[in-house]
Chains A and B, each alone.
Chain A
Amino acid sequence: MTRRRRPKGVAIFLALAGLVAGDVTALAAPTFDVAVGLAGRVVPDRLAPIYLTPVDLPSGAVRLRVTQNVGNAWRGETTMSFEVPLAPFDRGDFEEVIPLYAAALPLRLELLSADGRRLAGREIELRSRRVDAPFPVGVGAFSTLLHDQAAFLSSAELPRKWSAYDAAESVWIGRTRGGLDGDQWDALARWVLSGGSLVVFTGADFFLLDAPRLRDLLPVANPTLAERGDGSRVLAGDLRRDATVLATKAKAPWLIERRYGSGNVLLVTTDALAVDAADLLEIQSHVVSAGALSLAGTASDLLDLQPIDHPSRWVAALLVVLAVITLPAVIRSKGHRSSTPVLCAAFAAFALFSWVYTDSAQVESDVYRTEADVSIEGSLGVSVSCSALVSASRQPVTANVGVDSIPCEPLPRSVESGSRDMAYRDGAAQITLVPGERRFLTTRSDVPVHLRARLDGDEELRLANREPRKIADALLLVDGEAFVLPPLEPGESTIYLANPSSGRTYSLGPEGGSLDRLLAAAASFLSLGRGVWLVAGEITETKRTEGGIRTRVRDVSLYIAEVGRD
């Protein structure tokens, strides 16, 4: 009896020891500090910043993997995983921007070593951070509550990547202790360029905030502080051509608006602590909600127009006719001894013809991909892209899609479990394409300024094309009036404008073509009918073979640059 009990006792002892040891290991495991969301809030299906603080980071951690499970057994389940290198923590927290699809399940974060070993991990609960719609974000101090839904950040907490503001309806810059750094201003400027909405309180606080990028954003040039009739200090300056004074106080402009790219900047010439509730209501009535250019629908249309590769049916028919005629003809005309070699020679010739004809141009591609890319350029540049993909293969194919930044994919309400999984790593997203099903990967990234242009008088356009190649199709839009430009040569050039094209309609490239459709989509978002814009575009076609998967890529690129005027 004792003998029988001994193994059981040993097993219980070992199990308890294992539990204790596991607990001790868990206690000893390295951990790390992490924050998710803009001001700690996340809006489903939007991008959100994620910050890692360099405290208790395990040594040897060089990569971060974020995994998110989306959906459920009824809607279908999808796993999104993003793996990025951990940049050196020389400027505070590590910041990355990832799409958050749902808040029901926690976000899993893992720190990995160079060889992919998991060093530490933790889960972040999202349910309590979830808000349903974009919200106003206040930075610094204000005299009165901005909005019921507003979130507040200190200037140090403000993101340094423009796509991190995706959940913001508007950003209000109030009184800050040390102002914003250059990266933060650049991020805000890029966000406004792409459709964001910025409210800046200045007045006596202007010189706390002053930065070259802020001066570029403001509706007034050469800003100076002036004293108003009521004794308060306000920001004054030369009104820019595209600025509008919305309200005045004591005969001095108080609220000035300006379009910046596809977004808006609202300048309050007094400081944030000098406004009362009535002023705030007045300001709120002029704030335009931030928008974001969505290219998924347009990319789908452009994908429809992409030519597909396959050999001609007529050539195949010719080959069949030749074979069908040759076979009986040779048999009937030759004796039974000589017919076989003649037949073999004839069919060898047909095989050679097949070989020569079915070169790479005729070969069917497995995947067709249309890349719709819009670059919006001012003194900075942003790019909004959408890759639309479809498989022509007869079976599911796994594609590696090169992207500029972590992509976001609009997910349908219901999916087949696993069919929408995505694994992003080092500039490539790995996805599986089910035959006939389309996938759309959208990205937002910084781009260098490709085109700079300045309109001298009414006839002379001085421009610089920093692309190493000629851009074939270009237009100049002056308050909705279109001037067709010759191809933009690389480097600097001067173009003398001829008469505008007739009517208020214009097209880039062939009418109804891919470039023209992309321009139509961008024009409605950017309101290109106002102001001076240089619009240029190009289409490139490439074929790539990766992992045995042949992909035909059509790149439809549109550059939209704000044109300065003398």
Chain B
Amino acid sequence: MTRSYALIDRDSWRPYFSLVLFCGIALILSIPGAHVVRDLASASFLSALPTFFYAHALFMGLLGLGLGAGSAERGEEGTRMLASLALRVLIGQFLCLPYLIFARSLFPGRGGAFALIALFTTLVSLALAVFSRLIEHPRRPGPSSGFLVKYPLFVVYNAAPLAGLPLLSPLGAVRLLLEGVAPPEALLAFALPVALLTVLSPFAVRLKGEGHA
């Protein structure tokens, strides 16, 4: 008999909650407090930045890390594990849909960029979920050592490229996708998560589940 994995349950909802809560706060902060043009100069600097998209990229990444850890804990395995991770990432993206639609009014006329950002953050989240699943595998060192490896790496992945090649950082990539980049640059932004997925997925599929589920 094939085991069915719950997509969201009482044990796995917290990463989604963080995503919904912090993206929501970022959305509120993105809206300028100004009423007339005079106030634009003194409007919050957060509203002058794509704050919502930064938060979206960051928390979709964290969701991926959390989902990977949860999957390892439950001992999910094989291609079904991969499919359920993808579905969970999509659910995370779906929970942000009301915000994404709301954010359209802050960046009018950039529908194409929104679609690219949604696809990009989904890929990043899935790649990080697979990475986290590998790191958190029960046969590897305990959860605390997994935590010590993956979160610093996540910070480096987001921050380090900003100094030189921002397209390789999820934060830099969402900003540039929103501002509009040439197709080769957009491809470069997508290259890293796609490469991570392509390389890590076969290893993740071959893992044997030894979790608590």
Asked if B28 and A316 sit within 8 Å, CB to CB, the answer is yes
Contact indicator per residue, chain A 144-180, by CB within 8 Å of chain B (1) or not (0): 0000000000000000000000000000000000000
Query: Is B95 located at the chain interface by the 8 A CB criterion?
Result: yes
B95 — which chain A residues lie within 8 A by C-beta?
323, 327, 343, 347
- Check A303 for interface membership: any CB of B closer than 8 A: yes
A414 at the B interface (CB under 8 A): no
List, in ascending order, chain B residues with CB within 8 A of A344's CB.
91, 94
B141 within 8 A of A: no
Taking A323-B24, A548-B109 as contacts, is the C-beta distance between A310 and B31 under 8 angstroms?
yes
In the complex where A347-B97, A394-B48 touch, is A307 in contact with B35 (Cβ < 8 A)? Answer: yes
CB under 8 Å from chain A, chain B span 62-112: 91, 94-95, 97-99, 101-102, 104-109
> B115 CB to closest chain A CB, in angstroms?
15
State in angstroms the CA–CA spacing of A394 and B35 once bound together: 17
Report if B7 contacts A (CB, 8 A): yes
If the complex has contacts A304-B36, A340-B91, A358-B101, are A328 and B106 also in contact, measured as CB distance less than 8 A? no
Residues of A contacting B38 in the complex (Cβ-Cβ under 8 angstroms) = 304-305
Q: Is the CB of A340 within 8 A of B33?
A: no
Interface residues of A in 26-83 (CB under 8 A from B): none
Given contacts A320-B25, A324-B21, A328-B17, contact A354 B102 (CB under 8 A): yes
Q: Is B119 an interface residue (CB 8 A)?
A: no
Residues of B within 8 A of A550 (CB): 108-109
Task: Kindly list chain A residues whose C-beta atoms are within 8 Å of the C-beta of B36.
Answer: 304-308
The tally of residues in B whose CB lies under 8 Å from a CB in A reads 43
B19 — nearest CB in chain A belongs to which residue?
A327
Minimum C-beta distance from A163 to chain B (A): 29
Cα distance, A548 to B39, chains bound together (Å)? 24
**Which listed residue, A307, A308, A324, A395, touches B32 by the CB 8 Å rule?**
A308
Instruction: Let me know if A364 and B105 touch, CB within 8 A.
Output: yes
Q: Flag if B10 contacts A331 (CB, 8 Å).
A: yes
Give the A-B contact count at a CB cut-off of 8 A.
138
Compute how far the CA of A550 lies from the CA of B105 in the bound complex, rounded to whole angstroms: 11
Chain B nearest CB, measured from A310 CB (Å): 6
> In the complex where A305-B38, A347-B94, A368-B37 touch, is A311 in contact with B28 (Cβ < 8 A)?
no
Which A residues touch B20, using CB under 8 A? 320, 323-324, 327
Partner of B6, one of A305, A337, A390, A395: A337
**Interface contact A436-B41, CB-CB below 8 Å:** yes
A483 interfacial contact with B, CB 8 Å: no
* Minimal Cβ-Cβ distance residue in B for A344: B94
| A324–B98 alpha-carbon span in the complex (Å) | 12
Q: Select one of B9, B27, B39, B107 contacting A320, CB under 8 A.
A: B27
Q: Which residues of B contact A350 (CB under 8 A)?
A: 97-98
Q: Contact: A364 with B27, CB < 8 Å?
A: no
Chain B residue with Cβ nearest A326: B20
Residues of A within 8 A of B99 (CB): 319-320, 323, 354
Contact B31 A316 (CB under 8 A): yes
B157 within 8 A of A: no
Closest chain B CB from A548 CB (angstroms): 4
B104 touches A358 (CB 8 A): yes
Contact of A390 among B21, B37, B102, B107 (CB under 8 A): B37
Give the residues in chain B near A307, CB-CB below 8 Å. Answer: 35-36
Q: Which of B3-49 contact A (CB under 8 A)?
A: 6-10, 13, 16-17, 20-21, 24-25, 27-28, 31-41, 48-49
**Contact, CB under 8 Å: B16 / A311:** no
Point out the residues of chain B lying under 8 angstroms from A362, CB to CB. Answer: 105
C-alpha spacing A279/B114, complex, angstroms: 76
| B50 beta carbon closer than 8 Å to chain A | yes
Q: What's the minimum C-beta distance from B85 to chain A, rounded to whole angstroms? A: 15
Give bound CA distance, A332 to B13, whole Å: 10
B31 touches A313 (CB 8 A): yes
Query: Once bound together, how far apart are the Cα atoms of A332 and B36, in whole Å?
Result: 44
- Counting chain B CB atoms within 10 Å of each CB, the highest count among A307, A332, A336, A545 belongs to A336
- Specify the chain A residue showing the minimal Cβ separation from B98: A350
A311→B91 contact, CB < 8 A: no
* Complex interface: chain A residues within 8 A of B50 (CB): 394
Report the bound CA distance from A337 to B39 in whole Å: 50
Q: Which residues of A contact B210 (CB under 8 A)?
A: none
Q: Contact between A328 and B105 (Cβ–Cβ < 8 Å)? A: no
Residue A498 at the chain B interface, CB threshold 8 Å = no
Instruction: For residue A349, give the distance in angstroms from its CB to the closest CB of chain B.
Output: 9
A320 touches B28 (CB 8 A): yes
Q: How far is the CA of A344 from the CA of B91 in the complex (A)?
A: 8
Indicate whether A332 sits within 8 Å of B102 (C-beta atoms), given known contacts A307-B36, A394-B48, A545-B109: no
Report A-chain residues with C-beta under 8 Å of the C-beta of B27: 316, 319-320
A327 touching B10 by the CB < 8 A rule? no
Task: Determine the chain A residues whose CB is within 8 A of the CB of B108 once the complex forms.
Answer: 363-366, 550
Q: Which residues of B contact A553 (CB under 8 A)?
A: none
Residues of B within 8 A of A324 (CB): 17, 20-21, 24
Per-residue CB proximity of A376-420 to B under 8 Å, as 1/0?
000000000000001010110000000000000000000000000
User: Which residue from chain B places its CB closest to the CB of A324 in the assembled complex?
Assistant: B21
How distant is A358 from chain B, measured CB to nearest CB, in Å?
A: 4
Please indicate the chain A residues that have their CB under 8 angstroms from the CB of B33 in the complex.
Answer: 313
Contacts of B7 in A (CB 8 A): 340
Given A324-B21, A362-B105, answer yes or no on A336-B6 (Cβ-Cβ < 8 Å): yes
Cβ of B8 and Cβ of A340 under 8 Å apart?
yes
Question: Could you write out 24 A-B pairs with CB less than 8 Å apart?
Answer: A307-B36, A308-B34, A310-B106, A313-B31, A320-B20, A320-B24, A320-B28, A324-B20, A327-B20, A331-B9, A331-B13, A332-B10, A343-B8, A344-B94, A347-B97, A350-B97, A354-B98, A354-B102, A363-B105, A363-B108, A364-B107, A366-B109, A390-B37, A394-B49
| With A327-B95, A339-B8, A354-B98 already in contact, 5 other A-B pairs whose C-beta atoms are closer than 8 Å | A308-B32, A308-B34, A319-B102, A347-B94, A394-B50
Closest 10 CB pairs of A and B: A320-B24, A336-B9, A304-B38, A350-B98, A354-B101, A336-B6, A358-B105, A363-B105, A548-B109, A351-B97
B interface with A by C-beta (< 8 Å): 6-10, 13, 16-17, 20-21, 24-25, 27-28, 31-41, 48-50, 91, 94-95, 97-99, 101-102, 104-109, 179
